[in-house]
């Protein structure tokens, strides 16, 4: 015991020596090398601090670029407002997808969930004579239920979301074909029996630009989700879970419950998209939006959200969807064959993610 | 508890194996396989229903397979192999890749199966023992000729939107597209692909995936190039419906744009009646399917093979243009008759 206290007092005697030495020693290891930064590095730092700027810049550059390549036709009010209409559904799906991807998950079944919800809305109101609003409610419930189903499988079975939603994509899609026999519910029948289903497809003319109500709803959804993610505890928990699930759990967040709620909210957004899609397409078409799942992921990724979770903004996904629409339209007007449109989109995805990775690698 | 689960699991495995074992040789049930391009296109859904109904009537046991999308060749190859292994007597196939599927079908024939091509002839057509098909080129041609006749002198400065199937250009898409242009009077250059034409009347070739949403987006993209399009060729009726929605959105649903389509399903014929589609070429998938099933039954029982339509290498199940707005010099049937003969 005495030896120990001797050792301790010896150590204590060393303390003042140590602290007095601090003043004199070179303090360089405490500072960050801000020294000489090249312009590229400065840009990289700036982008790192404001990641949403990247998709905005890409969008502006591509609009200007296609303006040159495709000429006046691209810049017309007619065309620009058409692009917004074309990306509305994928945009809403991308909003839902962002929630999932922020948790380091991925949802391959969003489009199938959407079509399933629209089938419920259409079948109940048009073919079974149920009043339209309750039918729409059933569709919403379907969205929440299918979303929660995904969430439960992810949390209870502890399977990767990729695997779970790969399975549920096929399941929901098969159910859609089963319920409809692949037959669409016609636009004219919907117009007669349940015109409310077409509501979000109604158009208004604002100084030459034609927007659908659905486009405004899409923006509203993004604003609402932005508020949810940035101004509420629930939203911050989403980021926390995506960043480090274990740390989130340890800090008191009930991650399993949160995940199910996140998937359910995504499902609700998807169901809203289902209602809007009926306005866009006119009919309830079981075979439509077959590539919607991957299209939504494309928009999210181009919008700067990391597939590894915890990083990214919801507004980025809106710009991502718009960028895809701009490219698709611009290349088409420029007269490019359809397969080159697809090729260009592939290149765009890689470039966009590459830029995002470069920004993340901010180092000294 | 564990031992019980093990016993239960092995019991289930054995029961499952027995349940899926093919019928033993010597049983009197003729087995056949129907392999379609996809199981989501209503055309093939109806084909399957027709085959199933006829098979039930004749006591034929039918197994179904389908690719995931038009062009999914791989799944069809596996389906043929499964069919050979299961002891079936015949294969009915609507092939996604009509050239590449030939070797595995030859394998089936070597194993004693009858190979019947439905809807799309194989290349070469003789690779199948028999073909019950529709002439997709003629189907497109009727539509093109109708539009040209309707426009009369204005056909010389028509503006045509071509709404095709998908980028990989499956044969049905190419035949209908090239048939339409040919019927309209445009030089199609290479008939084995669309998009290589140089006629300035063709404004665009956009793809639709054969559904309404694709049809709408494709039509919009074409309109973005030229808002004065007055002729629209569509690969099938769902795509035509989508195209109509896009035209309606800019107020061009007043009959100034002629939309031609192919398929002849009941919803499609109803759309002709409503004025959404100008004319559609009607095909008969139910007929193809039931004739095919009958052929396999005859082969299994008597070893006889079906006969072709005289003068053709295949049995032509026919195609008719359905319209209430007939054009001089172009054969067509009325909407009422189309409704009587429609499928779906």
CATH number at residue A314: 1.10.3470
Across the interface, whether the CB atoms of A82 and B238 are under 8 A apart is answered no
Looking at the DSSP bridge assignments, the partners of residue A193 are: none
Angle of helix A132-156 versus helix A161-180 axis, rounded to 10: 150
Name which of A96, A93, A135, A130 is nearest A118 in CA terms: A135
How far apart, in whole angstroms, are the C-alpha atoms of residue A197 and residue A260? 29
* pLDDT for B308: 78
CATH number at residue B99: 3.40.50.2300
Residues B130 and B141 in one domain: no
Instruction: State which residues form the domain around A354.
Output: 57-360
* pLDDT for A18: 53
Looking at the DSSP bridge assignments, the partners of residue B34 are: B64, B92
pLDDT block averages, 10 residues each, chain B of length 344: 66 60 57 91 89 93 90 91 92 91 94 91 88 89 96 94 91 92 94 92 94 94 93 96 94 92 93 94 91 91 82 81 93 93 85
pLDDT greater than 60 at residue A25: no
* pLDDT for A17: 56
User: pLDDT per residue over A81-139, tens digit each?
Assistant: 899 999 999 999 999 999 999 999 999 999 999 999 999 999 999 999 999 999 999 99
**What does the mean pLDDT of chain A come to?**
87
* pLDDT for A362: 67
Q: Answer whether A281 touches B (CB < 8 Å).
A: yes
The total domain count for chain A is 1
Residues B102 and B233 in one domain: no
Q: Are the C-beta atoms of A284 and A205 separated by less than 8 Å?
A: no
Residues B193 and B268 in one domain: yes
The total domain count for chain B is 2
Q: Is residue A52 part of a domain?
A: no
How far apart, in whole angstroms, are the C-alpha atoms of residue B165 and residue B169? 7
pLDDT band, residue A14 (cuts 50/70/90): low
Across the interface, whether the CB atoms of A184 and B216 are under 8 A apart is answered no
Per-residue buried b or exposed e for B309-321, using 16+ beta carbons within 10 Å of the residue's own CB: eeeeebbbbebbb
Q: Is residue B218 part of a domain?
A: yes
Q: Are the C-beta atoms of B233 and B260 separated by less than 8 Å?
A: yes
Q: Are the C-beta atoms of B129 and B305 separated by less than 8 Å?
A: yes
* pLDDT for A364: 38
Q: Is residue B8 part of a domain?
A: no
Select the residue from B200, B211, B272 to test the A interface by mutation, using most A Cβ atoms within 10 A: B211
Residue of A nearest to B242 (CA): A281
User: With contacts defined as CB-CB under 8 Å, which chain A residues touch B204?
Assistant: 332
Q: Is A130 exposed, middle or buried, given 0-12, 13-18 or 19+ CB atoms closer than 10 A?
A: middle
Residues B85 and B127 in one domain: yes
Across the interface, whether the CB atoms of B224 and A85 are under 8 A apart is answered no
Across the interface, whether the CB atoms of B245 and A281 are under 8 A apart is answered yes
Q: Is residue B12 part of a domain?
A: no
* pLDDT for A242: 92
Q: Answer whether A68 touches B (CB < 8 Å).
A: no
User: pLDDT per residue over A196-211, tens digit each?
Assistant: 999 999 999 888 888 9
Q: Answer whether A188 touches B (CB < 8 Å).
A: yes
* pLDDT for A52: 77
Across the interface, whether the CB atoms of A287 and B216 are under 8 A apart is answered no
> What is the bridge-based pairing of β-strands A203-206 and A209-212?
antiparallel
Name which of B303, B314, B297, B284 is nearest B32 in CA terms: B297
Residues B62 and B148 in one domain: no
User: pLDDT per residue over B299-341, tens digit each?
Assistant: 988 888 888 777 677 788 889 999 999 999 999 999 999 999 8
Residues B300 and B272 in one domain: no
* pLDDT for B8: 64
Name which of A84, A114, A139, A105 is nearest A293 in CA terms: A114
Question: Per-residue DSSP letters for B259-315?
Answer: EEEEE-BHHHHHHHHTTSSSEEEE--HHHHHHHHHHHHHHHHHH---PPPPTTSSSE
Residues B31 and B128 in one domain: yes
Kindly report the length of chain B. 344
Instruction: State which residues form the domain around B224.
Output: 136-282+319-341
Query: What tokens appear for A66 in the block?
Result: 């296609």
Name which of B35, B111, B126 is nearest B73 in CA terms: B35
How far apart, in whole angstroms, are the C-alpha atoms of residue A289 and residue A246? 36
Residue of A nearest to B343 (CA): A183
Q: Is residue B4 part of a domain?
A: no
ipTM of the complex: 0.75
More confident residue, A279 or A30: A279
More confident residue, A300 or B26: A300
Q: Is residue B224 part of a domain?
A: yes
* pLDDT for B23: 44
Angle of helix B212-225 versus helix A77-102 axis, rounded to 10: 140
């Amino acid at each position: 015991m005495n030896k120990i206290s001797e050792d301790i007092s010896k150590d204590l005697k060393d303390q003042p020596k140590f602290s007095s030495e601090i003043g004199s020693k070179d303090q360089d290891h405490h500072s960050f090398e801000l020294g000489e930064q090249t312009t590229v590095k400065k840009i990289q730092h700036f982008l790192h601090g404001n990641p949403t700027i990247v998709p905005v810049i890409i969008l502006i550059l591509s609009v200007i670029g296609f303006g040159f390549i495709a000429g006046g036709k691209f810049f017309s009010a007619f065309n620009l407002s058409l692009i917004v209409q074309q990306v509305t559904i994928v945009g809403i799906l991308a909003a839902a997808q962002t929630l999932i991807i922020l948790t380091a998950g991925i949802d391959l079944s969003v489009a199938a969930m959407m079509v399933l919800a629209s089938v419920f809305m259409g079948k109940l109101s048009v073919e079974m004579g149920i009043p339209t609003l309750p039918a729409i409610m059933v569709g919403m419930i379907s969205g929440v239920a299918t979303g929660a189903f995904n969430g439960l499988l992810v949390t209870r079975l502890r399977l990767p979301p990729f695997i779970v939603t790969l399975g549920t994509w096929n399941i929901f899609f098969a159910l859609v074909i089963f319920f409809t026999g692949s037959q669409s519910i016609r636009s004219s029948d919907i117009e007669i029996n349940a015109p409310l289903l077409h509501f979000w497809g109604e158009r208004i003319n604002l100084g030459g630009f034609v927007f659908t109500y659905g486009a405004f709803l899409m923006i509203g959804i993004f604003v609402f989700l932005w508020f949810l993610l940035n101004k509420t505890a629930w939203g911050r928990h989403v980021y926390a879970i995506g960043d480090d699930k274990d740390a989130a759990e340890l800090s008191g967040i009930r991650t399993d419950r949160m995940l199910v709620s996140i998937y359910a909210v995504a499902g609700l957004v998807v169901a809203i998209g289902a209602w809007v899609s009926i306005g866009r397409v006119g009919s309830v078409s079981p075979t439509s939006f077959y590539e919607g799942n991957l299209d939504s992921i494309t928009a999210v990724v181009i919008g700067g959200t990391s597939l590894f979770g915890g990083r990214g903004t919801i507004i980025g996904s809106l710009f991502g969807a718009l960028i895809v629409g701009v490219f698709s339209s611009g290349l088409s007007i420029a007269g490019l064959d359809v397969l080159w449109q697809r090729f260009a989109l592939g290149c765009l995805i890689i470039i966009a993610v590459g830029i995002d990775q470069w920004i993340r690698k901010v180092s000294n | 508890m564990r031992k019980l689960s093990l016993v239960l699991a092995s019991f289930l495995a054995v029961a499952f194996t027995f349940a899926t074992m093919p019928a033993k040789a010597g049983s009197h049930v003729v087995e056949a396989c129907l392999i379609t391009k996809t199981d989501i296109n209503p055309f093939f859904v109806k084909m399957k229903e027709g085959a199933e109904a006829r098979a039930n009537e004749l006591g034929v046991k039918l197994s179904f397979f389908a690719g995931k999308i038009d062009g999914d060749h791989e799944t069809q190859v596996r389906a043929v192999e499964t069919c050979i292994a299961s002891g079936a007597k015949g294969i009915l196939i609507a092939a996604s890749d009509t050239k590449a599927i030939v070797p595995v079908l030859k394998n089936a024939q070597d194993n004693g199966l009858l190979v019947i091509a439905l809807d799309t002839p194989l290349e070469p057509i003789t690779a199948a023992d028999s073909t019950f098909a529709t002439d997709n080129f003629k189907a497109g041609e009727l539509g093109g000729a109708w539009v040209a006749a309707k426009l009369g002198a204005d056909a010389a400065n028509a503006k045509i939107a071509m709404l095709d199937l998908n980028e990989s250009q499956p044969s049905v898409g190419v035949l209908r597209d090239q048939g339409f242009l040919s019927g309209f009077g445009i030089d199609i250059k290479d008939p084995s692909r669309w998009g290589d034409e140089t006629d300035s009347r063709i404004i665009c070739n956009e793809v639709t995936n054969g559904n309404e949403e694709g049809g709408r987006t494709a039509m919009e993209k074409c309109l973005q190039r030229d808002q004065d399009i007055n002729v629209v060729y569509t690969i099938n009726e769902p795509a035509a419906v989508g195209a109509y929605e896009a035209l309606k959105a800019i107020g061009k649903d007043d009959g100034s744009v002629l939309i031609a389509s192919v398929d002849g399903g009941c919803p499609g014929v109803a759309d002709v009646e409503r004025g959404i589609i100008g004319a559609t070429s009607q095909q008969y998938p139910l007929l193809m399917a039931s004739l095919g099933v009958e052929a396999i039954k005859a082969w299994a029982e008597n070893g006889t093979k079906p006969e072709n339509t005289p003068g053709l290498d295949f049995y032509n199940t026919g195609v008719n243009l359905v319209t209430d707005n007939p054009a001089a010099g172009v054969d067509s049937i009325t909407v009422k008759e189309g409704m009587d003969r429609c499928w779906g």
